[in-house]
Chain A
Amino acid sequence: MVPQLSWYLALSAILFTIGVAGVLVKRNAIAMFMCIELMLNAVNLTFVAFSSFFRDVTGQLFVFIVMTVAAAEAAVGLGIIITVFRNRESLDVDDASVLKL
């Protein structure tokens, strides 16, 4: 019995769901950030699975671009987190629910 395409899609759905639940439940900005990374990775898994099963390289190119976007997001997102922490002495998103200082 060889792993089917739907197995990979199911695994991806599970990982994405865990990421969504984490973003909604977590209150720490860095933890929410890591849950977003998890969701991006779940989508990458579907891309690679489709690419492999359809024997077309396009999906893997998309993964490459998604990874670049994730890297850019990490740089800017962590910069924002550092700025918020500097101004509020806290990483809790409830403390930063108002844009005004």
Chain B
Amino acid sequence: MLSNYLQLILFVLLAGLAIGSAVAMVAQRNPLYSAISLVGVFIALAGLYVTLAAPFIAAVQVIVYAGAIMVLVIFVIMLLNVEEEERRPLRLRFLIPTAILLAGALFAEAAFVLYFVNEAPQPLNPTVAGEASVVGLTASVGQGLFTTYLLPFEITSILLLMAIVGAMTLARRAAVRPTDIVIPGSQVLTMHTVDPRAAGDATPVISDTTDEAARVMNINERMRTRDGE
């Protein structure tokens, strides 16, 4: 058991690091710096979990959040070559005071609850409740996960499968690009399939019928000869 002073100092340090990093994240205009600040928040929270005697969750926090999710975010930021947010005039100018007002209301509600609910917590069920040092260990977390909460655990795996399929579907290039010309009722024909000289012609043509679309694309003759008439 850590001494009381050490606990206090750790809490103040880690809480300060978390709040400072969070404020820095919102204040930064460059998304990459925001991401690095967010990693600071995650590390500070992992330290707080350790002081709360939850080493398993702390390790998972570092591995999953600071490791996997933030690497994914930074990967996307670099893939898209995002630059600093440009200071364009806001379309909805009243959003900023509204945001500050709503955040203040939320914070006031939380402070109200914390001020009036100030009892020292007791273990819910003293016969079941274990020692504080045992509760957060991997063994007890795993036991809870595979006995009482087996169904949520399995549902979680289905959720991950859905996320994989969804992400692949989203990131895949669509078969029809917005610049392609589609003849209704026919197969998909891009302009340069029909005419190699028109590779640069990317104007979409809207047509209501197959005949009209074929006439606009000037492919009636070609199709007939291709059919070997």
Contacts and interface: CB of A to CB of B under 8 A. Distances in A.
A8 B163 CA distance: 32
Interface residues of B, number: 92
B8 A24 contact: no
A38 B38 contact: yes
Contacts, number: 242
A68 to B, nearest CB: 5
Interface string B87-122: 010110001101110110011001101100110111
Contact of B123 (A38, A55, A64, A83): A55
Contacts of B85: 27-28, 31, 92
A76 B68 CA distance: 14
Contact of B8 (A3, A70, A81): A3
Interface residues of chain A: helix, strand, loop or mixed (majority): helix
Contact of B99 (A21, A60, A71): A21
Given A14-B19, A55-B129, A56-B129, A71 B68 contact: yes
A101 to B, nearest CB: 6
10 contacts: A7-B15, A25-B26, A45-B48, A57-B135, A57-B140, A58-B149, A60-B57, A69-B159, A70-B65, A76-B166
